């Protein structure tokens, strides 16, 4: 994979091993705007990679360094996921500027990049994450149009093939086991639905959602 190096000053030393991969969308009108912001020392945000809509990949921060992409975050009892994660920003205007499907060339590049990161660092499928998974009250990216099922089929992340035993446990228990911060249960339910049932993001843990949660719990234990 050809990666164009674009240095971001917004980085520092990493403490500990890489255990998570976090996918974002840029949420800005153009990829150029996003790159400029991610390299602006005043903004104090960055990511390891940016993937343009035409599939061009930019490297901003070495994987051995900490990028500043996760913000206030939580997953499976761990906070501050900048310390332990690789961040990939996918160019897309997002919900504020005209959210749209991700182009085929872009998704192919993101998949190849993810496979490399997961392989190099031994990242577990349960720890390939959406920004909305780790910050459900603040974020909704990469959003309902990201093809998590297709990525899971290729070895990046996990996705349920069917339903588990809905009713066996409540939403707070199930989502907590998966890894979500359930302090705001409605936000956690919405984040789960945005990833695993994107056609209906209701914030309500209905029968179907509980069944999906149960199956995702089972997959995280494998």
Q: Which residues are catalytic?
A: 89
3-state SS assignment for residue 60? coil
* 3-state class percentages of the chain: helix first, strand second, coil last, to nearest 5: 35, 15, 50
Instruction: Tell me if 51 sits within 8 A of 109, measured CB to CB.
Output: yes
Residues 57 and 35: their CA atoms lie apart, in Å, by 11
Extended beta strands in the chain, E state = 3-5, 11-13, 20-25, 49-51, 57-59, 65-67, 74-75, 78-79, 85-90, 128-130
Is the distance from CB of 190 to CB of 135 less than 8 angstroms?
no
Question: What gap in Å lies between CA 51 and CA 26, rounded to an integer?
Answer: 9
What is the C-alpha separation between 76 and 135, in angstroms, rounded? 12
């Amino acid at each position: 994979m050809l990666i164009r190096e674009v240095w971001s000053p917004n980085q520092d030393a990493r403490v500990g091993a890489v255990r998570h991969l976090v996918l974002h969308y840029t949420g800005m009108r153009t990829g150029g705007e996003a790159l400029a912001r991610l390299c602006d020392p005043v903004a104090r945000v960055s990511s390891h990679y940016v993937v343009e809509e035409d599939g061009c990949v930019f490297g901003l921060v070495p994987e051995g360094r900490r990028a500043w992409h996760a913000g206030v975050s939580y997953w499976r009892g761990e906070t501050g996921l900048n310390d332990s994660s690789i961040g990939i920003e996918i160019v897309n205007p997002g919900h504020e500027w005209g959210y749209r499907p991700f182009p085929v060339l872009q998704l192919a590049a993101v998949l190849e990049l993810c496979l490399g990161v997961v392989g190099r660092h031994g990242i577990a499928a349960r720890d390939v994450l959406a920004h909305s998974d780790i910050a459900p009250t603040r974020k909704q990216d990469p959003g309902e149009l990201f093809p998590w099922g297709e990525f899971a089929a290729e070895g990046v992340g996990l996705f349920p093939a069917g339903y588990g035993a809905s009713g066996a446990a409540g939403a707070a228990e199930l989502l907590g086991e998966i890894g979500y911060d359930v302090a705001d249960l409605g936000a956690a339910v919405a984040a789960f639905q945005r990833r695993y049932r994107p056609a209906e993001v209701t914030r309500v843990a209905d029968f179907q959602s509980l069944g999906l949660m149960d199956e995702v719990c089972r997959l995280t234990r494998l």
